[in-house]
Amino acid sequence: MARMYSRRKGKAGSKKPAKKQVPSWLRYKGKEVELLVVKLAKEGKNPSQIGLHLRDVYGIPDTKIVAGKSITAILKEKKLQKEIPEDLMAMIKKDVQLRKHLERNRKDETAKRGLIITESKIKKLTKYYKKNQRIPESWKFEPAKAGLYLE
């Protein structure tokens, strides 16, 4: 199946470990991993940054295999989850950067198209998160106030 906003087939992407069991060489237990996730979240890291840090520094290949829960599930359980999901926040940040760029470069047609695509992705994500009660039904993306979400 082709990608929605490009003319390519989407085949690239990282692959998960083939075995769905805890590696024998791993020295961390489930509770220790949960404590590490909480510690990193309190330092201000996003779930994806936490996963990268656990992989690169501690050698934990997959949190879900070791702890039995995903990073976001652990954060939700400990009430450390952010109000706006990480992927939606990244799209909002991209929208703000594109708007700043278009203020300086009004005739950049490629950037205008990128802004339209980014805003449609934001609308799709908000619809999805409202349906799954991850954000409130009353939440609405307003491009004029998008910079306030980043603070």
Tell me the pLDDT of the chain averaged across its residues: 89
Q: Which residue has the tokens 């339209």?
A: 116
pTM: 0.79
What are the φ/ψ torsions at residue 2 (nearest 5 degrees)? -85, 155
Q: What is the pLDDT of residue 145?
A: 78
**CATH homologous superfamily of 86-149:** S15/NS1, RNA-binding (1.10.287.10)
Torsions phi, psi for 6 (to 5 deg): -140, 170
Return the percentage of the chain with pLDDT > 70, whole number: 96
For the stretch 21-65, pLDDT in tens is: 888 899 999 999 999 999 999 999 999 999 999 999 999 988 999
- DSSP three-state, residue 19: coil
